[in-house]
């Protein structure tokens, strides 16, 4: 049986590992390489690493750090942050990264998606959509640059456009839920699921394994991403890198896949 993927999402700022709330107030939680090492030992299904500085400060991806992270990863690795063209994507791919996540560059110029897909294959192209609920619940807007820039693009309109492009996966990130640990936004996920059959990974809100269980229960095959859940422990949010062990993971999957 195919299993849903349970995926830690690591944010990097200034070469350090951080965690945000609603994309704000990044709190330093440790050394990214050490975290990757621990997650590798814990046999995570997949890992997403996002450099939240790169695009905002108009910096290139930190190839040396990416290489070090890839060297330690015995699982699929997705990198995002600052990728502007197919050449950079190709370089990152050659360092041992499977999935290339793009956001602002692709939203500003969707043609870049096909350029990158031509050089690394559709399956390796992940489009990241950071979204915020509109007032009065009228749909969702796409944001870029760490939620600082409102694109004015409607989420569903953009996903409909993706159909003709070489995208392998959508990474849907709820700015409203980020860091709150209050659960995923099912209303948002429902809306997206209605208009696309592309593989989907969701982020934002996971506060417990039960939240991940509810997600699996509802959507079965989905990428369950989480940030805070896997770097904090307890109600005072003490920093502790954690991830369900194989037994816990299988129990969760077997309970909710049926």
Partner 1 sequence: MIGIIDYGLGNIKAFSNIYKSFDIPYMVISEKSELEKVNKLILPGVGAFDDAMKKFKNSGLKNKVESMVFDSKVPVLGICVGLQMLGNSSDEGVEEGLKWIDAEIKLFDSTKIDFSTKLPHMGWNSINILEKNNPLFSNINTGDRFYFLHSYYFDCNKQDNILAECSYGSTFTCAANYNNIYGVQFHPEKSHFNGEKLLYNFSKI
Query: Which residues are known to be catalytic?
Result: 130
Distant-in-sequence, close-in-space partners of 177: CB < 8 Å, separation ≥ 6 = 183, 184, 185, 204, 205
Give the separation between CA 120 and CA 124, rounded to whole angstroms.
Answer: 6
Per-residue x/- marks for partner 1, 208-237, CB under 8 A?
-----------xxxx---------------
Strand, coil or helix: what is 134?
coil
Distance of CA 44 to the CA centre of its chain: 14
For partner 1, which stretch binds (CB under 8 A), given 56-64, 69-77, 133-141, 143-151?
69-77
Question: Binding of partner 1 at residue 45 (CB under 8 A)?
Answer: yes
Stretch that binds partner 1, among 56-64, 157-165, 175-183, 193-201 (CB under 8 A): 193-201
User: Which lies closer to partner 1 via its Cβ, residue 156 or residue 198?
Assistant: 198
Say how far apart CA 226 and CA 6 lie, in whole Å: 8
Q: Which is nearer to partner 1, 77 or 175 (CB)?
A: 77
Task: Name which of 61, 3, 49 is nearest 231 in CA terms.
Answer: 49
Cβ-contact 134, 140 below 8 angstroms: yes
Residue of 227, 228, 151, 133 lying closest to 188 (CA atoms): 133
Query: CB-wise, 69 or 83, nearer to partner 1?
Result: 69
CB 202 within 8 Å of CB 172: yes
Kindly state whether residue 70 participates in binding partner 1, applying the rule CB under 8 A. yes
C-alpha span between 193 and 171 (Å, rounded): 12
Least Cβ distance, residue 26 to partner 1 (angstroms): 29
Report 117-156 residues binding partner 1 (CB under 8 A): 120-124
Q: How many residues bind partner 1 (CB under 8 A)?
A: 35
By beta-carbon proximity to partner 1, the closer residue of 199 and 213 is: 199
Q: Which stretch binds partner 1 (CB under 8 A): 13-21, 71-79, 172-180, 202-210?
A: 71-79
For 258, other C-beta atoms within 10 Å of its C-beta total 8
Question: Footprint of partner 1 on this chain (CB under 8 A)?
Answer: 1-5, 40, 43, 45, 70-71, 73-76, 93-96, 98, 120-124, 168-169, 193, 197-200, 219-222
């Amino acid at each position: 049986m195919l299993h849903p993927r349970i995926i830690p999402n690591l944010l990097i700022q200034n070469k350090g590992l951080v965690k945000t709330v609603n994309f704000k107030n990044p709190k330093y939680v440790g050394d990214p390489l050490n975290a990757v090492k621990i997650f590798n030992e814990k046999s995570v299904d997949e890992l997403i690493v996002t450099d939240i500085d790169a695009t905002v400060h108009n910096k290139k991806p930190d190839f040396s750090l990416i290489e070090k992270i890839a060297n330690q990863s015995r699982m699929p690795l997705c990198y995002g942050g600052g990728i502007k063209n197919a050449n950079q994507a190709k370089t990152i791919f050659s360092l041992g990264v499977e999935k290339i996540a793009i956001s602002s560059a692709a939203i500003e110029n969707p043609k870049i998606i096909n350029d990158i897909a031509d050089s690394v294959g559709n399956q390796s192209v992940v489009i990241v959509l950071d979204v915020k609920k509109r007032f009065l619940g009228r749909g969702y807007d796409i944001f870029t640059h760490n939620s600082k820039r409102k694109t004015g693009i409607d989420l569903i309109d953009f996903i409909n456009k993706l159909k003709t492009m070489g995208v392998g996966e959508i990474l849907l990130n709820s700015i409203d839920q980020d860091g709150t640990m209050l659960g995923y936004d099912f209303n948002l996920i429902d809306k997206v699921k209605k208009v696309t059959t592309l593989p989907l990974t969701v982020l934002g809100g996971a506060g417990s394994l039960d939240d991940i269980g509810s997600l699996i229960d509802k959507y079965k095959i989905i990428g369950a991403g989480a940030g805070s859940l896997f770097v904090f422990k307890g109600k005072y949010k003490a920093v502790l890198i954690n991830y369900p062990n194989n037994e816990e993971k299988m129990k969760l999957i077997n309970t909710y896949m049926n």
